[in-house]
Structure 1
Amino acid sequence: MRQTRRRFLGATGVAMGAVTGCLGSAATDSTSGGASSDGSKTAQASFFVVSDFATRVAEGAAAVENLVPFGQHGHGWEPGPEIQRDVLGSDALVYVGEGFQPWADNVVRNVREDGADVAVIEAWEDVDLLEATDDRDHESESGDDHESDGDGHESDGDGHSEMDPHFWLDPDRAKQSVETIADGLASVDPDDESAYAENADAFADRLTTLDETFETRLDGRTRDAVLVAGHNSFRYLGRRYDFRVEALSGLAPDSTPSPKDITRAQGVIDRHDVEYVLAPVFESDRAATQLVEETDATGVLPLTPVPSLTEEWTEEGWGYVDVMENVNLPSLAKALGAE
């Protein structure tokens, strides 16, 4: 389903109270404070990936800051009044989309209701999103696996409903988001429209190269499925590169696997001859380790939907593309027997 509503809307003041969320506030991983000291345009972002995309698009033309504290997912988080001041003092707010982060939805709502002069850019606009079905492996009476494909809409309790939001794990879909961000920034800074367009084109080329690298590296794989011992955020990778993703839990990053989930995962390992269990970087690896200890799987490999950066990745100067190339691709190649 393609998201189509335009989000480059202006508004004029933001309520200064805190917005609803789950985690305590903390300092962000970039210098925050709204307006740029040199008079250039500024944009705030509500999630690491869209912050990274916007930074690439805005290079040399505008400053982009990530509102979410270092190491946090940004799904559930309680921002203090300083976050709203930062948004109020900026020219644009880039967020994933309505329903992904409740606190960001509240900020957007306040911006619009109060008429703040802040453009709201919805990063998943015009992206073809997958339905939020439960694609976890189910064994039929005949022993065959089947995938739920369209009817099982679910809400995971953190704002995700009906559509799977993790589109950025497909580099081709990510390019549409980059274009949307470029258009949004140009709408508030027409003098630098050509810079945004050129930067977006250059980054889109990098995403095309990333896509081709995945295609080449995963070609000739000997397995057709991977098991992720965490939440179900990797379906776009599976769709793009034609392999099955079996996840231990649903879309919510804080989902806790049940004993039934563990038993089902053990069956997945047996039926798909899984050698390596994939463990999402920002989630506990306890279940992955347990599965390796109790089955014929031999090891645990990292995988990430890139909700943030580790300290090591930050020191390396990595962004979304670097993490995809240096973390996700090697793990998938090994897990799928493409090496």
Structure 2
Amino acid sequence: MTRREALRVGGAAALAGAAGCTALPSAPVQSGDDEGGGPVAVASFFSFFDFGRKIADGTPLTVENLVPTGFHGHGWDPNARITQRIIEADAFVHVGEDFQPWADRAIETIEGDDVDTALVNVREGIDLVDLAATLDRDEEGVGEQRGKDPHFWLDPRRARRSVDNIAEGFADIVPEHADAFRDNAETYKTDVLDRIDADYAAMFDRADRDIVQLAAHNAFQYIGVRYGVRMRPLVTNLAASGDVKPADIREAARVIRDNDIRYIANGVFEKQDPAQTLVRETGVEAYFPVTPYAGVREEWVAENWGYEEIAYNINMPTFEIVLGNETPEAAAPSPEWLEQWRNFDSI
């Protein structure tokens, strides 16, 4: 019996007994060529699950997303069944320390009990930018780079390195398919990430406005840094669960007034009350959706949306609107999109 098998029937069960125990929540899964019995990699965050399944395409490796559909990957706190699933897997794809506390705890279990689950850190070797000046003073950033913003994957160029990190991690656990992983990674970087980068650059170059007001948490700085726009978050911390203070509303109202802002962006998986307040109390006419690729809705899963589809169907139309490049009617991919997402309700 391997160490993982022993923990599967022993240690993980003990963990489950110490915490709430419910069924593993629904989440997107990408199967490999083999039906069961093949190697499995589990991912702690939707973006890197999506990268992973594209990298594993055409190989026996199955990639699973641990975050339930409808949940934001940063603020979610799972029960011990997730740790059990990680222990059972051949690899755990994670975002680096101090970003998801539950993932940090799972890694401590793996390392402390000498579990043979391979750890794939997507953040390894990636240069992070400083935390935005708008952050509360008690924000410290992440792990080995204190004072740094962890949301690097919103920058398609930085995301390229995480794709390479995943490909190399998969090559280590399934070396006979190393060439396929690396080839798929190169294709994804060229065909998807480079195209998204070019389309974002063209969009922001067309804009007369260089400021975007977000009724959302502080996750979009990398878009601003890469493309030369000032991202103004309303929730001034790194987690989507942060509270909005009256002073935050007053500052957002000032930015909206001073810059004649008519439309703002709001997080899909975040509270809508602050955005609704700005619509009522300022010159803002409406808010539209953005997401840091941290979670998925049921209909996105049904359509098999990933990082690419979310970029083109959610974030880009909204940025066209809030930058003033297009009217909402012209930017919306369809009339149904406009009906669904103009001043949308919380999921």
Shared fold per TM-score greater than 0.5: yes
Which runs of structure 2 are paired with 1:173-188 in the superposition (5 Å)? 173-188=158-173
Q: Which residue of 1 aligns with 2:199?
A: 213
Unpaired segments ≥5 residues, structure 1: 1-10, 137-147
State the partner residue of 1:167.
Answer: 152
**Corresponding residue of 2:339:** none
Give how far 1:20 is off: 9.9
Of the structure 1 ranges 249-258 and 173-182, higher mean CA displacement relative to structure 2 is found in 249-258
Q: 2:293 aligns with which of 283, 306, 311?
A: 306
CA contact (8 A) 1:156 1:252 kept: no
Judged with a 3 Å threshold, the aligned counterparts in structure 2 of structure 1 residues 335 and 103 are, in CA distance, closer, same or farther, namely: same
1:280 — aligned with what?
267
What amino acid is aligned across from residue 308 of structure 1 in structure 2?
Answer: G
Structure 2 CA distance for aligned equivalents of residues 173 and 199 of structure 1: 17
User: What is the alpha-carbon distance in structure 2 between the residues aligned to residue 22 and residue 211 of structure 1?
Assistant: 42
Superposed CA offset, 1:20-73 (max 9, x none): 99998751314699xx75443210111111111111111122100011211112
Residue 193 (structure 1) shift: 0.2
For the residues of structure 2 that align with 1:187 and 1:174, how far apart are their CA atoms?
A: 20
Q: Residue in 1 aligned with 2:125? A: 126
Correspondence for 1:154: 139
3-state SS of the aligned residue for 1:129? coil
**TM-score, normalising length: structure 1:** 0.84
Q: Which runs of 5+ in 2 are unaligned?
A: 327-347
Deviation of the 1:74 alpha carbon: 3.0
- Give, in whole Å, the separation in 2 of the partners of 1:302 and 1:214: 16
Cα offset for 1:182? 0.3
Q: CA deviation at 1:314?
A: 1.9
CA drift of 1:217 comes to 2.4
* Alignment-derived partner of residue 231 in structure 1: 217
Task: Output the CA distance in 2 between the equivalents of 1:299 and 1:320.
Answer: 25
Residues 254-301 of structure 1: per-residue CA shift (max 9 Å, x gap): 111111111111001012221111111111121112112211222111
| In structure 1, distance between residues paired with 2:244 and 2:97 | 27
Q: Which amino acid aligns with 1:166?
A: H
Answering whether residue 324 of structure 2 is matched by residue 334 of structure 1, we say no
Paired AA for residue 241 in structure 2? D
Q: Please give the residue correspondences for 1:79-158 in structure 2 after superposition, counting only pairs within 5 Å.
A: 79-135=78-134, 154-155=139-140
The CA distance in 1 between the partners of 2:93 and 2:288, in whole Å, is 32
Taking a change above 3 Å as real, the CA distance of residues 86 and 55 of structure 1, as seen in their structure-2 partners, is same
**d(CA) in 1 for partners of 2:71 and 2:156?**
23
CA distance in 1, matches of 2:63, 2:26: 12
Aligned length: 313
Q: Which secondary structure state, in structure 2, belongs to the residue aligned with residue 164 of structure 1?
A: coil
Question: What percentage of residue pairs aligned between the two structures are identical?
Answer: 36
RMSD across aligned positions (CA): 2.9
Give the counterpart letter for 1:245 in structure 2. Answer: M
Residue 40 of structure 1 aligns to a residue whose secondary structure is coil
Listed one character per residue, the Cα deviations across residues 109-158 of structure 1 (whole Å, up to 9, x for unaligned) are 1111111111100111111112223336xxxxxxxxxxx9xxx6723899
For structure 1, which segment, 16-25 or 290-299, has the greater mean C-alpha deviation from structure 2 after superposition?
Answer: 16-25
Q: Is the 8 Å Cα contact of residues 43 and 90 (structure 1) preserved in structure 2?
A: yes
Against the structure 1 CA distance between its residues 30 and 332, is the aligned structure 2 distance closer, same or farther, given a 3 Å change threshold? closer
**8 Å Cα contact 2:268/2:291 also seen in 1:** yes
Conservation of the 8 A alpha-carbon contact between 2:75 and 2:239: no
Q: Structure 1 segments of 4 or more deviating over 6 A?
A: 19-25, 156-160
Contact 1:76/1:102 (8 A) holds in 2: no
CA contact (8 A) 2:141 2:149 kept: no
> 8 Å contact 1:91–1:118 — kept in the other structure?
yes
Contact 1:30/1:65 (CA < 8 Å) preserved in 2?
Answer: yes
Q: Is the 8 A contact 2:211 2:231 kept in 1?
A: yes
Amino acid at match of 1:104: A
Structure 1 counterpart SS, 2:206: coil
Asked if the contact 1:19/1:78 (under 8 Å) is kept, the reply is no
Measure the CA separation in 1 of the matches of 2:255 and 2:20: 33
Q: 1:22 to 1:77 in 2, by over 3 A?
A: farther
CA distance in 2, matches of 1:238, 1:22: 40
Shift of 1:82: 2.8
- What is the match of residue 312 of structure 2? 325
Amino acid across the alignment from 1:232:
N
SS of equivalent residue, structure 1 residue 120:
strand
